[in-house]
Chains A and B, each alone.
Chain A
């Protein structure tokens, strides 16, 4: 135990921090105070996970359902662990093997899950916006675990938490924790829900974001020579760079995204090898970033394509830590959401 005043090591939770949300659909709706509350709640959850028996009764008697229409290892598993660590009952439903295969509609499926007593539905779906549709039709809380190309809020929050732990200024106020930090996201920005949610989360917390990709993998409003989309919900302003060697200079964080194989078949890229030559995170490229820059990847990785194996397992890599933090962040999300509906 410490003799130092414990109160000093724990930053004060912002006075205005409240949580009234029933759903978590994306990070674009979260205020800096709400994100800060989530981050500090995650600190407490990390302590729970560090115990010999990582289990508390905070959500005892609550039922959490994971409903995944797309494949997932880490997201589904970490939500399940998070729910169990908080004492909730967790039921896993995969589209394959459920009545979805008999042709049951999404709305009917979620109404059935609500009828059996789901307090929270954790949902992954291939169609952008599907969780928003569900949220309009059920009383349960809906947590988006990835919808199409649109959003993956808990991934962005765990990435933010990981960066904040290494680079953040804990005494900074809400929205200031990553003030001035340079974050480069490299890869398939156009089709990445991880990139989109990260851009929102990072800019909300004050980071300077650069996205880097070949023009075919940039979203319409970001391609060089095209006017920026004026649509207010499009995305916050970021720097766009198609040359990774320029983008990476002085970066505090470099995040590689997974290159999905179907991008090649759809003619967006000439070949995996060419992509790797121009956009792979190599030791040489990472050396141009700031000293001690963090290397991140949301997984699953294609080592040798978007990231060199030596970089993925280097000391600068926090990729495994991202997975560990994922459980704590999802505990914080489940706790705040399920408690707000008492």
Chain B
């Protein structure tokens, strides 16, 4: 384990930024955090988490796939991708760090999504252990330990120091870049922090929340539950939950007619939208009830059914705090638990 004095934090960030683009959570003027590129003077936010998740780095909201240029009767096909530069995402929390594992299962499974893959290869994740979890947190329900998040490098901020440990060769290479700022140390301070935070985690209101009864084995029972109607009755059909979610990975591919060619791009889509998976005959999910059901079925039933029981949720709590009508996966799972028989 390495140790860095927090008084050298700026030097540390600068040293990393000298080698590759560095992104970290920064507060905007409305007091919320977002990932932003580091530049001299940019301060690390102390908030628990960013509004948008870290999935944006690998799966951006919009992304050009291919351009078509028209010249008379000729169509030129242009690959708009440029070689990605290496980048580091600093300050990823345990929940978001786990979300990459879930996204990998989707995008890196055959056929591999090369757009995603290229970003994954160029990105190094530096995760930061949580010290002040909030009432909306329930990552422990999915076996995530926010006091020891996964990532290429794991960090703990304790007292006046930042403790770092590399978990992968990528992480070791990153720590080598800043080796002259850090010194080797024992893990007592980190252990103490982990113990302290673990005690808080046990007190979280959702500490005992579990999705264990869900999975492929109860597909029809959950699907046919009569409770979907009441659960979804006030859903606005907006995409907030899906867009702040670190694991939602649905997208749409569209063509933009630029007047002199076509840009084919993809953008996030939301199962809450009326035109999600619309086909020639219309949307197979006719009302908000079916669309609402799709989101939770995907996370609690379909995804684990296809991925050895892993749920499509990491318990970051973003949808709990951001849903305009405060309807979320926790309420849904609790309401439907009884139908999982």
Indicate whether A and B interact.
no
